[in-house]
Amino acid sequence: MGWLHVKRQKYRVLFLFLICAITVFILNRLTEFDLPGEGLSRTLRFEHQQDRLTGTLILPANVISPPVVLLVHGDGAQDRWSDGGYLPLVNYLVSQGIAVYSWDKPGTGESRGNWLAQTMPDRAGEAALALEKVRQQPELKSSRVGFLGFSQAGWVVPQASQRANADFAVLVGAAINWRAQGFYYGAQRRQSEGRSSAEIQAATERDAADFDRAFTPETVRLPCLSSCTRQDFERRNAHADALSDIAAMKTPVMILMGEDDRNVNPHETVSAWAETLPTGTPRCIRLIGGATHGLLRSAWFDYQLASRWPLWKQGLFMLSGQYAWAPGALSDIGGWVQGQRCADAHP
């Protein structure tokens, strides 16, 4: 029976080894949802109009005059790290020697104000002031500083880049026209619900008629009656369109769109930027296959809103960390920030 005892011992050792390996793997992934442990972080505050904004600047360790990205949020009441969803991206950027600054939207986290009271030009002015605040930091006076924006930032970053003379910009899932984006979003939602093409077309036509009736030039200009609501926010931004700002943009810009974007039409965005940017403006414009609106792997996270993820998808995201992003997406962003490198398209 000695051989049987030895065999059992080997299985026990192998089992313990697997448990330890799995534990190390999980702990390693979960650390990507912590703020970077190395380097320096500090709180930076600034004021825009009546709002007092608060955010965190993270500097990579032992890097002199690192490039700096300012994160510009998409839609919604987002704090500086988007409820932790940005942290794997932040950890990646810092590991590449890139500093990161992000702030809570007005009325979220430690920031005072009401983000629902903002128009897109308001948001652009806020982002430009944030960039100026970062440039005032002693160790960043010689740094290249720019924006990394998501979705709704497609209306914000082109304006902010010109106001603040940004050194670079990166846009992910960038919207072009508020009206068209809303119809695309609705059509994609109905398609996921199994509606027929005819049903989707009819519903889109009804949406267009309702939109044009509700959001006239006169109603868009009306102020909020009291505290601005979501309805006010949509009304006051209903005519947002990025084309004129893109046409005036001189900032080197990277546009990354997931081919499986269910929120913003990726082909429309790619075409608009390619055709509208002034000749001579450095650019890197590309579609990323197998990627969502936020450049996550669409095979795993094919949803319009993260709030609709089931619990097991949330767990998968936590365990995946940086691997939740489509292959090459993070390195593309890092390469552009570090030196306007536009790598070949990924398979």
Query: 125: which DSSP letter?
Result: H
Q: Is the per-residue pLDDT at 26 higher than 50?
A: no
Q: How many domains does the chain have?
A: 2
If you average pLDDT over residues 194-203, what whole number do you get? 96
From residue 201, alpha-carbon distances to 147, 165, 187, 239 in Å are: 37, 42, 8, 22
Q: Tell me: the pLDDT tens digits for 333-343?
A: 999 999 989 87
pLDDT of residue 33: 80
Say if residue 100 is in the same domain as residue 219: no
**Beta strand pairing status for 51-59 and 40-48?**
antiparallel
Q: How many CB atoms lie within 10 A of CB 90?
A: 24
Q: What is the mean pLDDT of residues 210-238?
A: 95
Residue 28 lies in a domain: no
Is 295 in the same domain as 160? yes
Q: Which residue has the tokens 């005892």?
A: 5
Domain containing residue 244: CATH number: 3.40.50.1820
Q: In this structure, is residue 194 part of a structural domain?
A: yes
Contact 149, 170 (CB under 8 A): yes
CA proximity to 237, closest of 118, 134, 85: 118
Residue 23 resides in a domain? no
Question: Do 71 and 206 reside in the same domain of the chain?
Answer: no
43 and 162 part of one domain: yes
Residue 3 lies in a domain: no
Query: 253 and 162: one domain?
Result: yes
* Separation of alpha carbons 147 and 55, rounded Å: 15
Domain with 252, as residue range(s), is: 34-177+240-339
Residue type, 127: A
Provide the whole-model pTM.
0.90
Domain finish residue from 228, 252, 287: 228
> Can you read off the two tokens belonging to residue 60?
């990579």
User: Same domain for 142 and 38?
Assistant: yes
Can you tell me the distance from the alpha carbon of 73 to that of 103, in angstroms, rounded to the nearest whole number? 9
Q: 236-255 burial string, b = 16+ CB within 10 Å, else e?
A: bbbebbbeebbeebebbbbb
Q: Please state, in angstroms and rounded to a whole number, the distance separating the CA atoms of residues 29 and 20.
A: 14
Task: For residue range 28-71, list pLDDT tens digits in order.
Answer: 445 688 888 666 899 999 999 999 999 999 999 999 999 999 99
162 shares a domain with 45: yes
